[in-house]
Chains A and B, each alone.
Chain A
Amino acid sequence: MNSCGNTRKAFGEELLNLVQEGEDIIAVCADTRDSMRLDLLAEKFSNRVINVGIAEQNMMMVAAGIASTGKIAFAATYAMLNSMRALEQVRTFVAYPKLNVKIVSGLSGLTGSIEGVTHQCIEDLAIMRSIPNMVVLASADYASTKVIVREAAEYTGPVYIRIGRDDTPDIFDGSYSFEIGKANKLQDGKDLCMISTGLILDHAIKAVKILQNRGFSIRLLEMPSIKPIDKEAIIKAAQDIGKLVTVEEHTILGGLGGAVAEVLTDNIPTRLTRLGINDVFTESGEYIDLLNKYGLSVENIVRQSEKLILE
């Protein structure tokens, strides 16, 4: 499959669809109207996009204030700004009062790429996961972003959604199914269970194909819901297969790998390899070059998986 789509565009399009269907949504951004594709909504409903300027903390408070009146607020800027600059506002004034704010983060993971460490974000899942009341989601492509944005709007309460930057390969189509707290089993297998989330799912799928060609049988789970996480699917994989690998475009500390490790430790201690960025800061570079250098190449996923299977 060679077609590509853009997760930010998917977000903008679906938000417009939701408003056109009559959802009482206000989107708030911090000089990110166009880059987060809120221009699509603003063109038709100019008063439903609030741009507070370069002021992310205020963006989050304005979103919280709007949500307190009963509307659905979407706060949209880059992952490192949502999860760090505005973190106290997210924690104390969105999550604690359980306000209906959807925090949408572009440039997550390494997708900030050429901009460098300042614009990348490999810590947001760990940060957001530690906050009570927060639902933490990551979408893998254009089609799944649309479904996830829609489901987040349907859910009442705070949600963090991680999306990307540039066009990425299409994995799913309009039939993509999503439920908060549920894994998607993309294929079954008996030698290893690979669990991935977000845009890097593309590499996980490619790695699985290579492993299959080498004669291994792989179960592949997409975990779009990092919190709540699908404990049953993880425990079942541990029981059925006994070897797990997680693949995430995030530090290996506290994100998907951390969440899976917690479930295993609490329920069924099982061999697990966590693949991600190995607790280091990265650098500027083309997206694919960064993935390759920092351990998320298809080849490295294959190599580490094979190593675990053959242990």
Chain B
Amino acid sequence: MNEERARLIKKLEEKAKEIRYKTVCLAYKAGKAHTGPSLSTTDILVALYYYKMNINPKNPKWVERDKFILSKGHGCVSLYVILAELGYYPAEDNLKLRKVDGIVQGHPDMTKTPGIEFTTGSLGNGIGAAVGMAIAAKIDKLKSKVYVLLGDGEIQEGIVWEAVASAKHYKLDNLIAIVDNNNFQSCGALPDICDFYPFREKWQSFGWNVIEIDGHDFNEILPALDLAERSKNPCVIIAKTIKGKGVSFMENNNAWHQKTYTKEEYEQACLELSLLRR
């Protein structure tokens, strides 16, 4: 790996640390928010927004842009931090997360929040919308890609597989799904609730290309995104992640799926994330 690549990865790692820190700050200010599910996706979001996607925050409706849908809409805290960082809207607007009259809702809202491509939150639905966007891009002969991030619990929803099947039928090589495989859902660990493994075989049997990676290692995330872009079939990246990644007492602790912080917990989380950043 050349030096340039190493510098890029270092830069992205630093950015991810910063986003994690700000995610915890924002979740704390919101009162009750989905910290755990937001921290597991942070590195993937950073790779998409700071490396992969062709976007222009100054012109959010630029026709040729790549599009991102957070199908697991509850993991939106990191996404809001990133959108504000990139200048889609002022960072102050995030302070009204989940508050009345705010532009950032409890789950992503395409009519209220600049940069949100599609409204999500009720699980399973984002990938169908992504299929529609990918079909529209093909009809318009656009080169743009559609990325959709799903939770691993979310793919228990039947509608996901309706969309997966239609993506294959319409040969949507411009559609890339990413599964945030943190192995937890609201009630507990995936295998204990409704064991939906194995993932690879399921997606493959629907005609998708499958790439499996460590969803916290940019050395794996970046090549996977580059490879997915060149896939001749719809492609899914199954990203092994850790719910609550970056804060010791949140990692793999499902209590942090959605939880209000005590002051001590908040301070401890900030301390850990600050130390990470040094």
Known pairs A26-B135, A60-B128, A96-B119 / 10 extra A-B pairs, C-beta < 8 Å: A50-B135, A53-B165, A58-B163, A62-B135, A62-B166, A92-B121, A92-B122, A96-B111, A97-B110, A97-B111
Q: B133's contact among A60, A68, A88, by CB below 8 Å, is which?
A: A68
Chain A residues with Cβ below 8 Å from B163 are: 58, 61-62
Cα A211 to Cα B209 with chains together (Å):
68
Give per-residue flags for B194-234: 1 if the beta carbon is below 8 A from chain A beta carbons, else 0: 00000000000000000000000000000000000000000
Q: A55-B162, A55-B166 are in contact. Are A88 and B122 (CB under 8 A)?
A: yes
The total of interchain contacts (Cβ-Cβ below 8 angstroms) comes to 100
Cβ < 8 Å to B, chain A residues 36-79: 47-48, 50, 52-53, 55, 57-58, 60-69, 71, 73
Cα A4 to Cα B117 with chains together (Å):
45
- Interface residue ranges, A against B (CB under 8 Å): 26, 28, 47-48, 50, 52-53, 55, 57-58, 60-69, 71, 73, 88-89, 92-93, 96-98
Cα A60 to Cα B135 with chains together (Å):
14
Give per-residue flags for B157-175: 1 if the beta carbon is below 8 A from chain A beta carbons, else 0: 0010011011001100000
Q: Is the CB of B166 within 8 A of A65?
A: no
Q: Is the CB of B135 within 8 A of A92?
A: no
The 12 sampled A-B contact pairs (Cβ below 8 Å) are: A57-B162, A58-B162, A62-B128, A62-B129, A63-B132, A65-B130, A65-B134, A65-B136, A68-B118, A69-B140, A71-B139, A73-B132
Q: Is the CB of A68 within 8 A of B139?
A: no
Central interface residue in A69, A96, A98, by most chain B CB within 10 Å: A69
Chain B residues with Cβ below 8 Å from A93 are: 118-119, 125, 129
Q: Is the CB of B118 within 8 A of A65?
A: yes
- Interface residue ranges, B against A (CB under 8 Å): 109-111, 117-119, 121-122, 125, 127-137, 139-140, 159, 162-163, 165-166, 169-170
Would you give the shortest CB distance from A230 to chain B, in whole angstroms? 28
Q: A50-B170, A58-B159, A61-B159 are in contact. Are A68 and B117 (CB under 8 A)?
A: yes
Cα A291 to Cα B110 with chains together (Å):
44
Q: Is the CB of B119 within 8 A of A66?
A: no
Central interface residue in A48, A55, A61, A92, by most chain B CB within 10 Å: A61
Cα A62 to Cα B167 with chains together (Å):
10
Q: A52-B162, A92-B125 are in contact. Are A65 and B132 (CB under 8 A)?
A: yes
Closest to A30 in B: B162
Closest to B128 in A: A61
Q: A50-B170, A57-B162, A97-B119 are in contact. Are A69 and B128 (CB under 8 A)?
A: no
Closest to B137 in A: A69
Cα A52 to Cα B133 with chains together (Å):
14
Q: B166's contact among A48, A58, A66, by CB below 8 Å, is which?
A: A58
Cα A71 to Cα B110 with chains together (Å):
16
Closest to B139 in A: A47
Would you give the shortest CB distance from A90 to chain B, in whole angstroms? 11
Closest to B165 in A: A53
Chain A residues with Cβ below 8 Å from B140 are: 69
Chain A residues with Cβ below 8 Å from B119 are: 92-93, 96-97
Would you give the shortest CB distance from A120 to chain B, in whole angstroms? 24
Cα A93 to Cα B129 with chains together (Å):
9
Chain B residues with Cβ below 8 Å from A55 are: 159, 162, 165-166
Would you give the shortest CB distance from B101 to chain A, in whole angstroms? 18
Cα A64 to Cα B126 with chains together (Å):
10
Would you give the shortest CB distance from A133 to chain B, in whole angstroms? 10
